[in-house]
Structure 1
Amino acid sequence: MATSTIQIDVELDEQKVPSNIQWQASDGSMERPLQAKAFILSLWDGADKSALRIDLWTQKMMVDEMADFYFQTMMTMADTFERATRMTELTSGMKAAAQQFYQKFQELQMKENKA
């Protein structure tokens, strides 16, 4: 059986806030670690029937990037759910909620930029 390792290194500042995130995968084609401004890791604990998660972002992550990141993550989660369950009606609702989130974010940004 093959094994693959994903390594995520988080450099912290004096206040223990992430200042740098790098990652690499053992079976990837990358020669050195790649930079990331944020990551969300979710694991399912089948015994406890609960999600375990880690979500971190660096000070370099801009608010508009965070909105893009969350929108894309929500859309990807919907795609994954559809592939796993074939429940297209639920998936459509998830994607609609993601699009509504992103549209609302853009509206708020427009208001802030006018002020």
Structure 2
Amino acid sequence: MKKSEIRFSIALDDQKVPEAISWTATDAGPDIHFAKAINVSIWDRDQDGTMKIDLWTKDMPVDAMKYFIVDTIGSMAETILTATNDTVMATKMRELCAELSKHIDQEQKTQK
């Protein structure tokens, strides 16, 4: 059986706030990749529930964080469609993404 690993490295400041996030993966080559935010969800088979890790660096822009969340929901819509073929749930999630994107765009227009 082939195994693959993903490793995250988080650099924290004195107050334990993330300053830098990097990651490597055996299937992504030898390079170190950098991120401003991560969102990891794991379904724990023993607890029969979701365990989550949400981290973002202190220099992550607020508007980028909002788009990150919208992109994550959109990706989850594709996952639910592929995993379960539930088109209703996927469609509702995509509609929510469109609505949230409009909200963010409107916010940005009013801030300018």
TM class by smaller structure? over 0.9
**CA distance, structure 2, for counterparts of residue 108 and residue 47 of structure 1:** 42
**CA distance, structure 1, for counterparts of residue 46 and residue 10 of structure 2:** 29
Q: Please list the CA deviations of residues 92-111 of structure 1 after superposition, one character each: whole Å capped at 9, or x if unmatched.
A: 01110111112112212222
* Residue identity in the other structure for 1:42: S
Q: CA deviation at 1:75?
A: 0.5
- Tell which deviates more after alignment, 100-109 or 2-11: 100-109
Does 1:7 find its partner at 2:7?
yes
Following superposition, which runs of at least 4 residues in structure 1 exceed 4 angstroms of deviation? Answer: none
Using structure 1 for the length normalisation, give the TM-score: 0.91
Query: What SS does the corresponding residue of 2:28 show, helix, strand or coil?
Result: coil
**CA distance, structure 1, for counterparts of residue 97 and residue 56 of structure 2:** 20
Does 1:74 find its partner at 2:73?
yes
Using structure 2 for the length normalisation, give the TM-score: 0.93
State the partner residue of 1:51: 50
**CA distance, structure 2, for counterparts of residue 49 and residue 86 of structure 1:** 22
- Tell which deviates more after alignment, 91-100 or 44-53: 44-53
* Residue identity in the other structure for 2:41: S
Runs of 5+ consecutive residues of structure 2 not aligned to the other structure: none
After superposition, where does 1:14-93 map in structure 2 within 5 Å? Answer: 14-29=14-29, 31-93=30-92
Q: Please list the CA deviations of residues 50-80 of structure 1 after superposition, one character each: whole Å capped at 9, or x if unmatched.
A: 1100000001211121122111111000000
State the partner residue of 2:107: 108
Runs of 5+ consecutive residues of structure 1 not aligned to the other structure: none
Q: How many residues align?
A: 112
* Residue identity in the other structure for 1:18: P
Query: What SS does the corresponding residue of 1:60 show, helix, strand or coil?
Result: coil
**CA distance, structure 2, for counterparts of residue 48 and residue 6 of structure 1:** 23
